[in-house]
Structure 1
Amino acid sequence: MTVPRSASAPTVRPARGEDFDLLAGLLQLYLHDFSEHTGWDVDEHGLFHYAWLDAYRHEQGRHAYVFRVEGRPAGFALVREAERIQMAEFFVLRKYRREGVGLAAARHLLEAHAGAWSITQLASNPEATSFWRRAIPVPFEETVEADGTVEQRFSIERP
């Protein structure tokens, strides 16, 4: 019998200049995983494109975060402040899934950005919906939108 490895609690910190190369690499893994649901293809060089990464480096109201476990990259999140705060992208490397890393990182980010939130997932990705239902630490309203997304709306109060 194999005993599952227990990951340490992740550190979650805002991405700095040197982290954006790491984010670009992790985005390739994320977009590869996500292509199962979107049908996206790579370009002639074998790369996926994410048009907004540079905006997270320079624009107000956009926040990039890197997760690490024992100093090793474990995932990232991109948070966008608009009418509601949005979890634009959230990714945990497969090695760290189902070990509490994503849950701890998500809750850290939700608490760090108090206010009205909207988190969406594709209806074709029930694992993501199940994850967010567990991760959101307050009551939420959930709707299934006509565009094939599931949305949770809720508010996080400042402590």
Structure 2
Amino acid sequence: MTAIRRRSRLPGVSVTVEIATESDRTLLDRLMQLYLYDFSEFDGRELDDEGRYEYIWLDAYWTDDDRRAYLIRSDGRPVGFALVRLTDPVEMAEFFVMRPFRSHGIGRRAAQQILALHVGDWRISEVKGNDAAVGFWRVVIPVAFSEHMLADGTREQRFRVALP
């Protein structure tokens, strides 16, 4: 029997974060569909009549001054995204790394790069039941943080990112 070799889909060491531009909108929308599919486990979201998950805020990331969309790449390939709201405190609205690229340090490195871009107070929240996200952020947040359980079961971390 001959062994079949498959090309590894696992990334190398390169992790970059870049601001998503208008030309990245379709790519981000496709990644958003994967994210919302994964997230439907927690929020019960259903497909619309066109077979898509709706995310009503996506267009605002190209029109509102207080929102930033970032693409996460590994070895030049898109592997995820982050959506940040520049409020007080700054809020990680959404953060996603595709399943094949998780547990390789990519998400951690990307998240830390994004946090470093926005000095000041931060808030990161995870919905009830998303224990993997809670564990991820507890490791990723680079400073001491306070953690709170909200009435709806959402867990929230608050912390301050200072200048290096």
What TM-score do the two structures reach when normalised by structure 1?
A: 0.95
Q: 2:104 aligns with which of 99, 102, 119?
A: 99
Structure whose CA Rg is larger: 2
The equivalences for 1:8-157 within 5 A come to: 8-157=13-162
Per-residue displacement from partner, 1:54-95 (whole Å, max 9, x unpaired)? 100111110000011111111000000112100000000111
SS at the partner of 2:54? coil
In 2, are the aligned partners of 1:66 and 1:75 still within 8 Å (CA)? yes
Q: CA RMSD in A?
A: 1.4
2:12 aligns with: 7
Which amino acid in the other structure matches residue 42 of structure 1?
Answer: L
Distance 1:89 1:138 in 2: 20
Number of aligned residues: 157
CA contact (8 A) 1:121 1:151 kept: yes
* CA–CA separation in structure 1 for the residues paired with 2:34 and 2:11: 22
Q: Is contact 1:7–1:96 with CA below 8 Å preserved after alignment?
A: no
The one-letter code of the counterpart of 2:90 is: I
Equivalent pair of 1:63/1:79 in contact (CA under 8 Å): yes
Unaligned runs of 5+ in 2: 1-8
Aligned-partner Cα distance in 2 for 1:30–1:11 = 19
Contact (CA 8 Å) 1:7, 1:99: kept in 2 or not?
no
Deviation at 1:150, TM superposition (A): 0.3
The 1:55–1:5 alpha-carbon spacing in structure 2 relative to 1, beyond 3 Å, is closer
> Hey, what's the Cα distance between the residues in 1 that align with 2:155 and 2:149?
4
Paired residue type of 2:94: E
Q: Percent identity?
A: 47
Gaps of 5+ in 1: none
Residue 6 of structure 1 deviates from its aligned partner by: 5.7
* Whole-angstrom distance in 2 between the partners of 1:64 and 1:6: 22
